[in-house]
Structure 1
Amino acid sequence: MLDLSVIVLTYNEEIHIRRCLENVNLFAAKVFVVDCFSTDRTAQIARELGAEVVEHEWPGNQAEQFNWALDNLPIQTEWVLRLDADEYATLELIQEIRKELPVMKENVSAVVFPLGRAFMGRRLRHGIVNGIKMVRLFRNGCVRYEQRLMDEHLMILKGETVAFQYQFVDDNLNSIKYFIDKHNTYSSKEAALLLDAEFYLSDELEEGSSDFCEEVREKREQKRRYARLPLFWRAFGYFFYRYIVKLGFLDGKEGFLWDFLQGWWYRTLVDAKVFEIKKACGNDKSKMRQYLLDKYNITL
């Protein structure tokens, strides 16, 4: 096994946890499951598969929970891999990790993986699914999660970053209802972030961009450009880009549903909330902050 520990954050992930742990048990020396007192069989299954389960109350966001894990788990390996319960490494990525990790240069502290996507049981090959990359593998003590409303990323505290070729896959097995409910919650946070990008609602501007990998900096710049585009038209344009220009239609019905729901419906819902807040508050920053707090329990 590799000199590598895996950390998985969970709450009621019975539907996913077996697949995730059987996957990482192929190459990891140690697996930690940080659970938030699940009421299903998540913890039981994790223990059956050899993981060390640590119960810890949800602090409010995954960044804080993961930073707590880094600070408190008895991690003794040189390398750490972070996966969600609904994610897994492809066999090609596992082979790449096995080959590259033991001979990694000492100045390298983090590794970027491409993100693969499956939706409703189908691996998606087109649209924008091949353009997203994330730091998920790193030397212990060299990274930390930023504190952010959503889309948190790992900050590189020291050392260089390299990119691997093969993907890890996000493959959530829950129902469409789960998807809709989750993205309704996300849309409120996304609306707040777009308003922040336009009106500078938060107390501090984003700093320390050099602490992120190049892929994160590019994604943040794309979001800033997106925030300046016209409401509603930008959501349609994003769907058109994904589904037509990037050939999302080649992924069949599942590809249409993914690009429509996550690309158009979700982005239109975000814009509807931005529109609602602007109608209620005008350009008054203090009113916007209070509205977000009162209506969505969001503090900027």
Structure 2
Amino acid sequence: MGRPDFSFIILTYNEEKHLPRLLNSIKELNAPVFILDSGSTDNTLKIAEEFGAKVLYNKFENHPKQWDFALKNFDIKTPWTIGLDADQVVLPELFEKLKNFKDEDIPKDVNGIYFNRKNYFKGRWLKHGGYFPKYLLKMFRTSVGYSDTNENMDHRFIVPGKTIIWKDGYIKEENLKENEIGFWIEKHNRYSDLVAQEEIEKRNKLRTQSINPRFFGSPDERIAFFKKIWWSLPLFVRPFLYFFYRFIIQLGILDGKEGWIFHYLQAFWFRLIVDIKIWELKKKNDRA
């Protein structure tokens, strides 16, 4: 096939376990690949060079700002850009859609395309608990889509105008480093600092949502709607409610022991740690 109408951007930091897997899944698409690294000390940069990717460096502060830097500093010539994480893989159904993709086939008022993520934890696909289907805006018109820097941790791309959803445009996400639970806990302990600070700022009207919350809107507008409800719930109560909702109402219980570990840690433990840190920050601010 000839040069396609899209380019890939990938963020990396010590991704020698993941990067070959991702680059091999998109190699036959013959698309330009741009990698923004934040100081890898393993074989990440060597792997990027072997696959012919263009690499830039930027010191990491958080994911939204890293994506913002990538979108502003890579010279993308194609009409569309795809932003992927290093621990993601393009699955065959999405590969076929991209192989046949032509800019001229997309209505001019459509600026973004949602892919459908299959999330894996400890080797198991999490089909329940609200984790599938999971639509992520990953493809957008170059220079039209941008990174939502109003978030500290959750990165998302935003586009004005219309979007479409590729329900069978599957990406697989599996962070192999998280097979060691110590890595998962350490990582999410760091994330909890960012989320707690972000919520304090939102409670104090110092930070707002970039996306209009709408229950019947796009996948991201729907998430924004539920986030607005989340922030109104009482601290320490909401982790119990959320875990019950994920594990029982959304049938996370059917995801086996791997699902039990994941849903408990992600829906309850992590949210409880965030609430404790919000409580501590509020007490500290009150004393100040």
TM-score, L = length of structure 1: 0.85
Structure 2: unaligned runs, 5 residues or longer: none
Moved more, 69-78 or 181-190: 69-78
Which of 258, 265, 287 is the equivalent residue of 1:261? Answer: 265
Give 3-state SS (helix, strand or coil) of 2:85's partner.
coil
Q: Is the 8 A contact 1:24 1:89 kept in 2?
A: yes
Distance across 1 between alignment mates of 2:93 and 2:62: 31
Q: For residue 235 of structure 1, what is the aligned residue in structure 2?
A: 239
Aligned residues: 278
Q: For residue 113 of structure 2, what is the aligned residue in structure 1?
A: 111
Shift of residue 136, structure 1, vs aligned partner: 0.5
Moved more, 79-88 or 66-75: 66-75
Distance across 1 between alignment mates of 2:100 and 2:117: 20
Distance across 2 between alignment mates of 1:97 and 1:186: 33
Moved more, 80-89 or 99-108: 99-108
Q: For residue 92 of structure 2, what is the aligned residue in structure 1?
A: 91
Q: For residue 155 of structure 1, what is the aligned residue in structure 2?
A: 158
Q: Between the two proteins, what is the percent identity of the paired residues?
A: 35
The alignment yields a C-alpha RMSD, in angstroms, of 2.1
Shift of residue 66, structure 1, vs aligned partner: 2.4
Matched, 1:143 2:145: yes
For residues 76-87 of structure 1, the aligned pairs below 5 Å read 76-87=77-88
Q: Deviations over 1:80-111 (max 9, x none)?
A: 11101001122112223334545222222210
Shift of residue 207, structure 1, vs aligned partner: 5.0
Q: Is the 8 A contact 2:202 2:208 kept in 1?
A: no
Letter paired with 1:98: K
Q: Is the 8 A contact 1:5 1:28 kept in 2?
A: no
Q: For residue 50 of structure 1, what is the aligned residue in structure 2?
A: 52
Which of 237, 243, 248 is the equivalent residue of 2:252? Answer: 248
Shift of residue 141, structure 1, vs aligned partner: 1.4
Q: Deviations over 1:162-211 (max 9, x none)?
A: 111122222100022221111101111212233333332x1x5445649x
TM-score, L = length of structure 2: 0.88
Give 3-state SS (helix, strand or coil) of 1:93's partner.
helix
Give 3-state SS (helix, strand or coil) of 1:83's partner.
strand
Letter paired with 1:40: D
Moved more, 145-154 or 134-143: 145-154
Give 3-state SS (helix, strand or coil) of 2:140's partner.
strand
Shift of residue 59, structure 1, vs aligned partner: 4.8
Distance across 2 between alignment mates of 1:28 and 1:129: 31
Distance across 2 between alignment mates of 1:180 and 1:209: 32
Q: For residue 202 of structure 2, what is the aligned residue in structure 1?
A: 197
Q: For residue 30 of structure 1, what is the aligned residue in structure 2?
A: 32
Matched, 1:270 2:274: yes
Letter paired with 2:262: W
Q: Is the 8 A contact 1:5 1:75 kept in 2?
A: yes
Structure 1: unaligned runs, 5 residues or longer: 288-300
Q: Is the 8 A contact 1:110 1:137 kept in 2?
A: yes
Shift of residue 223, structure 1, vs aligned partner: 1.2
Relative distance call for 1:18 and 1:128 in structure 2 (3 A) is same
